[in-house]
Amino acid sequence: MRILVVNVNTTQSITDSIGAQAARVASPGTEIVPLTPAFGAESVEGNYESYLAAVAVMEAVRAHPGPFDAVIQAGYGEHGREGLQELLDVPVVDITEAAASTAQFLGRRYSVVTTLDRTVPLIEERLHVAGLSARCASVRASGLAVLDLERDEKAAVDAIAEEALRAVRDDRAEVICLGCGGMAGLADVVVERTGVPVIDGVTAAVTIAESLVRLGLSTSKVRTYAPPRPKRIVNWPPAAG
């Protein structure tokens, strides 16, 4: 089985980190193929960048020669999953939804801890659209940008663990979803500090993608995710894109 794991950011080191994380949990026989979009923001933190990433991810997947058995969109709270589902016959798994869906098997309420406050509304909307917000206790921000996570891992881990603790204590979360990727030891530290299960979206998505393939299930094509109708698309994709 071959699974494309598509970063939403154009920073290669984040792609590498996501790919490594995915590979660690993949079953024997599953090949993880990390992908970086050809255009877009070095880190996605807001609606403009997220819409651009949505389109860039779709083009990256379309440009891939294949074959592949499933696609994971590795961005927390980003736009675009529905478009991928229209374009592809194989299952598409968004890491925001993978984490939340997994969390609901482990506790009555979960919280997401993410980077910047400005991404909180995006995550809330995605959980809502996905039908996964009823048991979401809160989405909290550590105040650190995506690229800060790579620069000072110690401070990042501290800030995130602190918000996770507040989610458990003040918002009654029983499970924490990490709304940001790329740090090796993050989950372990947060587990240690909070005493609750901590979910990383990328690894959760890998197990779900594998499960869907194993069960022979893929996206329903009868309505919302029917393939695009044949029509003229002007000036797209970009020549160099």
User: Distance (Å, rounded) from C-alpha 126 to C-alpha 108?
Assistant: 20
- Give how many residues touch a copy of itself by CB under 8 A: 89
Residue type at 126? R
Question: In the sheet that 136-141 helps form, which strands lie side by side, from edge to edge?
Answer: 136-141, 110-114, 175-179, 198-200
| Residues paired with residue 113 on neighbouring β-strands, in sequence order | 140, 178
Label the pairing between strands 31-35 and 70-74: unpaired
Nearer CB in complex with a copy of itself: 17/85: 85
- Residues of span 190-219 touching a copy of itself by CB under 8 A: 195-197, 199, 203-204, 207-208, 210-212, 214-215, 217-219
Per CB under 8 A, does 236 bind a copy of itself? yes
User: Distance (Å, rounded) from C-alpha 70 to C-alpha 89?
Assistant: 9
Among 31, 118, 151, 152, binds a copy of itself (CB under 8 A): 118
| 182 torsion bin: left (phi>0), alpha (psi -120 to 50), beta (else) | left
Per CB under 8 A, does 163 bind a copy of itself? no
Cβ 158 to a copy of itself shortest distance, Å: 21
Nearer CB in complex with a copy of itself: 10/142: 10
Among 2, 104, 150, 158, binds a copy of itself (CB under 8 A): 104
Among 23, 129, 153, 162, binds a copy of itself (CB under 8 A): 129
| 29 torsion bin: left (phi>0), alpha (psi -120 to 50), beta (else) | left
Among 23, 33, 38, 189, binds a copy of itself (CB under 8 A): 38
Question: In the sheet that 2-7 helps form, which strands lie side by side, from edge to edge?
Answer: 31-35, 2-7, 70-74, 92-94
Among 16, 20, 23, 39, binds a copy of itself (CB under 8 A): 39
Cβ 91 to a copy of itself shortest distance, Å: 7
Cβ 67 to a copy of itself shortest distance, Å: 20
Among 130, 158, 171, 189, binds a copy of itself (CB under 8 A): 130
Q: Return the number of other C-beta atoms located less than 10 Å from residue 176's C-beta.
A: 31
Stretch that binds a copy of itself, among 149-157, 159-167, 178-186, 233-241 (CB under 8 A): 233-241
Q: Residue 84 in contact with residue 73, Cβ under 8 Å? A: yes
User: Distance (Å, rounded) from C-alpha 30 to C-alpha 32?
Assistant: 6
**For residue 238, is the peptide bond before it cis, meaning its omega torsion is within 30 degrees of 0?**
no
Cβ 129 to a copy of itself shortest distance, Å: 6
Binding mask 61-100 for a copy of itself (x = CB under 8 A): ------------------xx-xx-xxx---x-x---x---
